[in-house]
Amino acid sequence: MAWARRILRVDLTGGDIREEPLNMDWAMDYLGQRGLATKYFVEEVDPKVDPLSADNKLILATGPLTGTGASTSARYSAITKSPLTGCIACSNSGGYFGAELKNAGWDMIIFEGKAEKPVYLLVEDDRAELKDAAHLWGKSVWEVDDAIRDENQDPLLQIATIGVPGEAGVLFSAIVNNKHRAAGRSGVGTVMGAKNLKAVAVRGTRGISVHDPDAFEKAVDAGKKVLAENAVTGQALPTYGTQVLTNIINEIGALPTRNARDVQFEGANDISGEAMHEPRRSDGQPNLVRNAGCFGCTIACGRISKIDPTHFSVKDKPQYHHASGGLEYENAWALGADTGVNDLEALTYCNYRCNEHALDPITCGATIAAAMELYESGALTDEDTGGIKLNFGSAEALVAAVDAICEGTEFGRLLGLGSKRLCEKFGQPELSMTVKGQEFPAYDPRGIQGMGLTYATSNRGACHLRSYTVASEVLGIPEKTDPLITDGKAALVKAFQDATAAVDSSGLCIFTTFAWTMEDIAPQVDAACEGDWSVEKMLEVGERIWNMERAFNLAAGITPDQDTLPKRLLKDAAKTGPAKGRVNDLDKMLPEYYALRGWTPDGVPTQETLSRFGLA
């Protein structure tokens, strides 16, 4: 139960679509979504595959709890090999698309090959067909979403699509559903574009059953009560969204600023969650219109915002005067503190553009920040930027740079390489704040030591969502640890990584873990699914997934010496704040981490470890 037990396999090259039974032996070992889809991927795809070739595959996968009555049961993931990093990619999204796919009776869709011309997939319960998308090629996410609904005369279709940058090969293109929910990181949308696959549209009416309905209802109700009574999930996130963190992280000296040259931003309060509530000067209305939730969500951390219509970024662009997806913490940081820009309206506009054209705002903002430092050093010139004065702190420059990526100008194509390739091209690779080619997010590892190990060892390149030690090091969840010490951080990171892999595979949102432990999650999975899904089994599944991803990356040529951080974080001490004078002490944490993982001192899983998880 809970699983649909069906896979839809789509051969884009030949146009063939067929149903397959879900491999239930694998489901018992990998659960669903991230874990189960990655198992399919690593069994079917050569680790050395060119990510943009027809031989790469793209899997859109749900978890067993996706679409059920569990709180936050909206999630689906896109799994592929990343064109940005060369690592295994698994990018997670909420909204309503995942629940619709599950209600149509499918656990996942596996796309293989490449269509001869642009197509989109239409799924209506058991019926699936590839449809011509020539008229949609070159259009934005917003335009495609409306057009597919209109031409199929079905306003209830849920659509996941890419924008023009994904068609053009921008390496950090996302897949966006519901116009502003994104499978955002690692270039999963770029792979979709390389396959000439513009969109996937789904309508599902079959419903979902669970193994033990009474036990499931009891476990779900208990979980919802915990979420409602928790200060973070019941109060802070509904009120301020993830933007509640901006002033907190800035105060502890861990907000990377101006391409991580600094750890505190003097303009942080201007772009914070609190600022989004404040009336603006021109019309007396706040930036924030309301909060929003994904399918089944009782937290509702999403933001719906409206830009001041007199602001320079939108005053001549009426299509951006409506209310749409607003800033979240990572977006506000990448587009704001990292570029030194404290103009809330400009950041909201740039976030709109990232939603409209399916761009990862973290890599987008961080790449522009790196470009600003290249410009400051003289490596990038006005001729390179197309005349944009790319200075830190310039809202006009930020807006022009984001527009350049969306419009595919010559400078936009340079930025579309991501910061690693951009900085290498202009002779200053040290200015790229990346791990394994992916830009690190909004937590400076000099001020939060555990996040340094998290970034360095993440299987998809730098990522906070693979091991959110901020919960412990800053928020005291599940227990408080000192962000400036390294003792115990290897075990903390491993525990977060294993638990997160299990949660990502369930179909639930990782934000529930601000309040829930595995003691809250395992009973919901156990009641929904056949088999034994104890806390111990869930954590074993998470550890198995982590080792599987690591093994794939090693086979793909991602070497353990890439388990490191930008030299700036290891050599240049924080200038201000509680972490003043500190660098990240990765060298103290990494050997212990390898030992706890059951890997060699060089970071390779031993045969004993692989055998323990059936991966030998």
Cβ distance 41 to 60 under 8 Å?
no
CATH of domain 6-203: 3.60.9.10
How does DSSP assign 221-275, residue by residue?
Answer: HHHHHHHHHSHIIIIIHHHHGGGGHHHHHHHTT---BTTTTBS--TTGGGGSHHH
Instruction: Locate the domains of the chain by residue range.
Output: 6-203, 258-432, 445-612
Residue type, 302: G
> Alpha-carbon distance 227 to 234, whole Å?
6
Query: For 181, phi and psi rounded to 5 degrees?
Result: -110, 135
CATH of domain 258-432: 1.10.569.10
Q: What is the pLDDT of residue 159?
A: 98
Q: What is the pLDDT of residue 197?
A: 98
Of 596, 576, 593, 595, whose CA–CA distance to 585 is shortest?
Answer: 593
Cβ count near 21 (within 10 Å): 8
Does the predicted TM-score (pTM) go above 0.95?
yes
Of 379, 337, 384, whose CA–CA distance to 361 is shortest?
Answer: 337
Low-confidence ranges of the chain (pLDDT < 70): none
CATH of domain 445-612: 1.10.599.10
> Alpha-carbon distance 294 to 281, whole Å?
31
Tokens of 590: 């990494």
Please name the residues in contact with 213: beta carbons below 8 A apart, sequence gap of 6 or more.
none
Residue type, 536: E
Cβ distance 147 to 136 under 8 Å?
yes
* pLDDT tens digit sequence for 411-458: 999 999 999 999 999 999 999 999 999 999 999 999 999 999 999 999
Of 408, 413, 436, whose CA–CA distance to 425 is shortest?
Answer: 413
Residue 391, CA distances (Å) to 57, 339, 600 in order: 40, 9, 45
Q: What is the pLDDT of residue 187?
A: 98
3-state helix, strand, coil in the chain (%, to 5): 45, 15, 40
Residue 354, CA distances (Å) to 97, 165, 256, 579 in order: 19, 10, 21, 33
Cβ count near 350 (within 10 Å): 33
* pLDDT tens digit sequence for 214-264: 999 999 999 999 999 999 999 999 999 999 999 999 999 999 999 999 999
Phi-psi region at 267: left, alpha or beta (left = phi > 0; alpha = psi -120 to 50): alpha
Q: What is the pLDDT of residue 1?
A: 76
> Alpha-carbon distance 361 to 365, whole Å?
6
> Alpha-carbon distance 153 to 142, whole Å?
17
The secondary structure of residue 202, as a DSSP letter, is E
Dihedral sign computed on CA atoms, order 398, 306, 514, 231: positive
Phi-psi region at 226: left, alpha or beta (left = phi > 0; alpha = psi -120 to 50): alpha
Of 437, 221, 243, whose CA–CA distance to 333 is shortest?
Answer: 243
> Alpha-carbon distance 213 to 377, whole Å?
63
Same topology for domains 6-203 and 445-612, yes or no?
no
